[in-house]
Amino acid sequence: MDNRPLQSEMPPPLDRPAAAAGLLQLMGVMDRLRAPEGCPWDREQTPRSLIPYLLEETYEVIESIEEDDAAKLQEELGDLLLHIVFQAEMAEEQERFNLADVLTTVCSKLVRRHPHVFGDAGADSAFHAKQHWEAAKQQEKGRTSRLDGVPRSLPALTRARRIQEKAAYVGFDWPSIEPVWDKVHEEIDELRTACAAGESDDIEEELGDALFSLVNLGRFLGLNSEGALRRAIGKFEYRFQHIEATLKAAGKTPEEATLEEMDTIWDRYRKKPPAD
């Protein structure tokens, strides 16, 4: 079955010559880098060899968004776009596809998965719009489960939320936040019981259940658990590094200090926000 939209359904391209020229210039730079007389490092790269750098650039984009740093975000988006162009360039060299194919594919996908915008379907909320997206994706991919398609390589907290969202889009969800709170307390109690029994497998399982329930609570609160944990880690780093700095100024190392001394310094910086 051909799910591609009719050409008449595709919106016309926007008149943004600067952006188009910039993309063409980037493609030209990449052509030059990959040419025989180009950069030795760029020429020896493969789609697989660039995976670590692609991941790094993706996380740098995330970090710049969380820091609300527009200048940094502009730069990091450029770095991420470079990787997209780089991958497309290598695919074109192998006669697999090119950047034009990539752009055509994503435009067609966006039209197909937004029938409430480009078709006759209705969507009176973001939730219903996402339902259309998930249903169309399920049909296009020929998947047997609504939970399919969430990469196992995703960070666990992010993957947990995506699994929960996919279940929620077909109606498998708590009706309100109150039973979600109850579930969190239930899982923590079960973790306590498992710890008291001392069975390591049960403890690991119950810890996982507790974490999963906390991710679900975050979803109901409209919060990203992955981002919340990164924020907590940053807060811990900020406070602990002040412990180290304060002790160093006093001629001590953390190993030489008592727990009480370190707790006193920790409490001093507990109410201070992390430095930018």
Contacts of the segment 119-125: beta carbons below 8 A, 24+ positions apart = 119/9
How many angstroms separate the CA atoms of 235 and 59, rounded? 19
Return the domain boundaries, the chain.
7-141, 156-223, 226-270
At residue 259, does pLDDT exceed 80?
A: yes
* pLDDT > 70: percent of the chain: 95
pLDDT exceeds 50 at position 172: yes
Q: Which of 70-74, 82-86, 242-246, 270-274 has the lowest mean pLDDT?
A: 270-274
Residue, of 33 and 272, whose pLDDT is higher = 33
Closest by alpha carbon to 114, among 129, 92, 97, 95? 129
Evaluate if residue 276 carries a pLDDT over 60: no
pLDDT, tens digit, 9 for 90 and up, residues 64-120:
998 999 999 999 999 999 999 999 999 999 999 999 999 999 998 888 888 888 877
Quick check: 269 and 242 in contact, CB under 8 A?
Answer: yes
pLDDT attached to residue 126: 79
Residue 191 contacts residue 203 (beta carbons within 8 Å): yes
Q: E strands within the chain?
A: none
* Residue 184 main-chain phi, psi, to 5 deg: -60, -50
Q: How confident is the model at residue 273 (pLDDT cuts 50, 70, 90)?
A: low
Query: In the CATH scheme, what is the homologous superfamily, with its name and number, of domain 156-223?
Result: MazG-like (1.10.287.1080)
The predicted pLDDT at position 138 comes to 78
User: Which of 32-41, 219-228, 264-273 is the least confident region?
Assistant: 264-273
Selected residue with higher pLDDT from 118 and 221: 221
Is pLDDT of 269 > 90? Answer: no
Please tell me the CATH superfamily of domain 7-141, with its number.
MazG-like (1.10.287.1080)
Q: pLDDT at position 117, please? A: 84
How far, in Å, CA of 86 to CA of 150, rounded? Answer: 25
- Can you tell me whether residue 262 is helix, strand or coil? helix
Q: What is the DSSP letter of 9?
A: G
pLDDT band of residue 274 (cuts 50, 70, 90) is low
Mean pLDDT of the chain: 89
> What residues have CB less than 8 Å from 42, skipping those under 6 apart?
30, 33, 34, 86
For the segment 21-33, the average pLDDT, to the nearest whole number, is 95
* Choice between 207 and 115, residue whose per-residue pLDDT is larger: 207
The reply to whether domains 7-141 and 156-223 share a CATH topology is yes
